Amino acid sequence: MTQDPTAPSPARLLLADDHPVVRAGLRAVLETEPGIEVAAEAGTAEEAVARAAEGDIDVVLMDLRFGGGMSGAEATAAITARAGGPRVLVVTTYDSDADTLPAIEAGATGYLLKDAPPEELAAAVRGAAAGRTTLAPSVADRLMTRLRAPGNALTRREIEVLGLVAEGLSNLAIAERLHLTEGTVKSHLAHVYTKLGVDSRTAAVAAATETGYIRR
């Protein structure tokens, strides 16, 4: 069948995920959708950044966790930092604040979970190509809660410090890991305690886990 020359060009996708089966599944779902073309795949975040820089990709479907090296959020930041770069749509199984906030701050246009229905995924891809934002309901609800009570929301650095507390690191070890002073770490923890209404490291980790700030 002859292609209509007046029809808009399809959105060209790059699938970035370290699991071949996941990439195959995404390809199977999306390559039959009108207006969408799966142009390339990447098995690492570094490959995704390099491929996206070639200039012929419109949307990157980005996982957040790869086997090693650069994370999905870091790759997102690198891709979106380039003028005229493609949009990044995060498609992952994780929806805690420890995952969503870094990805959105890195410039992700949208954030979906891998259990999203095929039609929702396709619509999100088209939306991303057009510059529109699509968020999974659980992510949108959590962000709205943070916006309604910004004074009680943990900052990205506070979440980072608390995540290392959960790993069992001392204040000194956290300071060395994050290139901060020990006093700065203590200050971050004091703010965390106040915001979460707790008075100990153990209680802070428990509260942050329950509210989705960190993963355990």
Q: Tens of pLDDT along 175-184?
A: 999 998 999 9
Q: What is the mean pLDDT of residues 22-32?
A: 93
CATH superfamily of 11-145: Response regulator (3.40.50.2300)
pLDDT digits 0-9 by tens, 60-117: 999 998 987 899 999 999 999 998 899 999 998 887 777 888 888 889 999 998 888 9
Q: Which residues contact 206 (CB under 8 A, 6 or more apart)?
A: 198
**Which is it for strands 110-113 and 59-62: parallel, antiparallel or unpaired?**
unpaired
pLDDT of residue 1: 40
CATH topology of domain 150-211: Arc Repressor Mutant, subunit A (1.10.10)
Q: How does residue 122 score in pLDDT terms, banded at 50, 70 and 90? A: very high
- pTM, to two decimals: 0.70
Q: How far is CA 177 from CA 6, 14, 174, in A?
A: 55, 33, 5
* Strand ranges inside the chain, DSSP E: 11-16, 36-42, 59-62, 87-92, 110-113
Q: What are phi and psi of 61, to 5 degrees?
A: -90, 110
**3-state secondary structure (DSSP) of residue 135:** strand
CA distance 66 to 46: 10
Q: Where are the CATH 3.40.50.2300 domain residues in the chain?
A: 11-145
Distance in angstroms (rounded) separating the CA atoms of residues 111 and 94: 10
Token pair 């609800």 is found at 141
Lowest mean per-residue pLDDT among 85-94, 140-149, 203-212: 140-149
161: tokens are 């410090």
Average pLDDT of the chain to the nearest whole number: 88
Give ranges for CATH 1.10.10.10 in the chain.
Answer: 150-211
Give the pLDDT of residue 216: 63
pLDDT for position 210 = 81
